[in-house]
């Protein structure tokens, strides 16, 4: 198993602090990022406290100490209450105000090593944790405090920090906020990337890849006409079977069979359209046209019967009725909140009737399928049957390729 990109256990526990499973993915990512940033800054804070105490600057030491105490308390409070808005406002307010207060206590920009640079993380944090609109007042507040600092600079008394230490302060105050900002953005972007991959995977489980790409490019009705072959498959006597099994067994049974059919659809380059209860629908020639769509669907239908035999089809096993038709269809996406890619038209209705009026353990096809494949596949005529909603129709059973 690859461990690349996995966080250490301590960081995972810290990121999970105050996690709310009812929140959306973006909200959970913002929560964990803010908790991690608070923990990171708290880990750096004792260094500044000790440094200022060693320099004989107790007032300056009290400011990072206050941040540390309040932050640890707010972390514990957030872990208990899950109130993110209050926790976020507290952290951003301290990160905005306290660096300027520390700078003023040390005597200004130069005398403090430009410690107010840490306050920029509050403005950037607001953008990260709130969004672009809500972050504007925070950035405006940062600029306001910056202007105030410039105005009061002549009135401040420098603390007299030794030159070598002051250079180290400048380096730390440049490196510290930069490191924190980089690590947070790295964590947040990687989280967003993971979420994007999951979202793409989910979207492609609902829509064909070409259709999903079109839908992302424009918000408009997607509808196309195709020459396609449609297949329906239905489990024989599924209602009494499902009544005799526990619910979890029913779901496990359907998942196993339909997952196998999904693999067959991928192998034959076909598009699974949907499942309806115990019925499975697949099509060839959509959304990407192909000349051999009828033969490809026929090959899959034969493979589906072999899959059922492999799973122990028989008097007490699973048996499917399969129906096929080929011809024009309309394909498109319906819905705005829960998308579905579906097919409509006489071809779809006829394929459904071929299944519902079919023979258990066999593949019943229409005259159009027979006409298209009769040179390459073996068929047995069923004669003319009365099809609901269609009237008398000649039908055939597909037996296999003509070798």
pTM, two decimal places: 0.60
Q: pLDDT 10s per residue in the chain (403 long)?
A: 344 445 556 656 666 665 566 666 778 878 888 888 888 889 889 998 999 999 999 999 999 999 999 999 999 999 888 888 999 999 999 999 999 999 999 999 999 999 999 998 888 888 888 888 898 999 999 999 999 999 999 999 999 899 899 898 899 888 888 887 787 778 777 777 777 777 777 666 777 778 777 777 776 678 899 999 999 999 998 888 888 889 998 899 899 999 999 999 999 999 999 999 899 999 999 999 999 999 999 999 999 999 988 876 444 468 899 999 999 999 998 876 677 889 999 999 999 999 999 999 999 999 999 999 999 999 999 999 999 888 999 999 999 998 7
Question: Would you call 388 a catalytic residue per the annotation?
Answer: yes
Distance (Å, rounded) from C-alpha 81 to C-alpha 20?
A: 10
Q: Which residues of 168-203 are buried (b: 16+ CB within 10 A; e: fewer)?
A: ebbebbeebbeebbeebeebbeebeeeeeeeeeeeb
Question: Per CATH, which fold does 220-401 belong to?
Answer: Alpha-Beta Plaits (3.30.70)
**Separation of alpha carbons 52 and 30, rounded Å:** 33
| Distance from C-alpha of 171 to C-alpha of 27, rounded to nearest angstrom | 34
The DSSP output letter for 263 is: H
Of 21, 310, 388, 403, which one is the catalytic site residue? Answer: 388
**CATH 3.30.70.1230 residue window(s) in the chain:** 220-401
Q: Where are the beta strands (DSSP E) in 292-390?
A: 320-334, 340-344, 362-365, 377-387
Of 28, 30, 31, 353, catalytic? 353
d(CA 238, CA 244): 10
- Residues 52, 46: Cα–Cα separation, whole Å: 10
337 among known catalytic residues: no
């Amino acid at each position: 198993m690859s461990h690349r990109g996995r966080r250490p256990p301590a960081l995972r526990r810290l990121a999970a602090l105050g996690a709310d499973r009812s929140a959306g993915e973006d909200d959970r990512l913002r929560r964990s990022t803010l908790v991690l940033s608070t923990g990171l800054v708290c880990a750096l804070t004792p260094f500044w406290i000790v440094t200022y105490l060693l320099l004989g600057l107790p007032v300056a030491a009290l400011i990072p100490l206050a941040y540390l105490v309040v932050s640890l308390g707010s972390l514990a409070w957030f872990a208990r209450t899950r109130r993110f808005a209050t926790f976020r406002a507290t952290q951003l307010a301290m990160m905005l105000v306290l660096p300027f207060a520390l700078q003023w206590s040390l005597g200004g920009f130069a005398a403090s090593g430009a410690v107010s640079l840490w306050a920029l993380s509050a403005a950037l944090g607001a953008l990260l944790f709130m969004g672009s609109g809500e972050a504007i007042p925070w950035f405006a507040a940062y600029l306001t405090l910056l202007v105030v600092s410039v105005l009061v600079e002549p009135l401040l008394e420098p603390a007299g920090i030794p030159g070598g230490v002051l250079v180290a302060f400048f380096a730390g105050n440049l490196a510290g906020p930069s490191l924190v900002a980089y690590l947070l953005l790295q964590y947040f972007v990687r989280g967003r990337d993971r979420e994007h991959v999951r979202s793409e995977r989910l979207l492609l489980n609902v829509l064909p890849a070409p259709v999903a790409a079109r839908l992302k490019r424009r918000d408009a009705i997607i509808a196309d006409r195709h020459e396609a072959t449609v297949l329906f498959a239905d489990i024989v006597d599924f209602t009494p079977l499902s009544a005799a099994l526990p619910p979890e067994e029913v779901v496990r049974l359907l998942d196993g069979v339909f997952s196998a059919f999904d693999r067959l659809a991928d192998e034959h380059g076909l598009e699974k359209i949907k499942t309806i209860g115990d019925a499975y629908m697949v099509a060839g020639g959509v959304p990407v046209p192909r000349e051999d769509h009828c033969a490809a669907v026929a090959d899959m239908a034969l493979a589906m019967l072999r899959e059922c035999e492999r799973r122990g089809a028989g008097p007490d096993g699973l048996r499917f009725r399969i129906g096929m038709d080929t011809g024009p269809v309309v394909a498109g996406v319906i819905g705005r909140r829960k998308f579905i890619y579906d097919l409509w038209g006489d071809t779809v209705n006829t394929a459904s009737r071929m299944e519902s009026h079919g023979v258990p353990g066999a593949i019943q096809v229409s005259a159009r399928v027979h006409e298209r494949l009769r040179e390459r596949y073996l068929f047995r005529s069923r004669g003319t049957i009365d099809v609901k909603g269609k009237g008398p129709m000649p039908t055939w059973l597909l037996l296999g390729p003509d070798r």
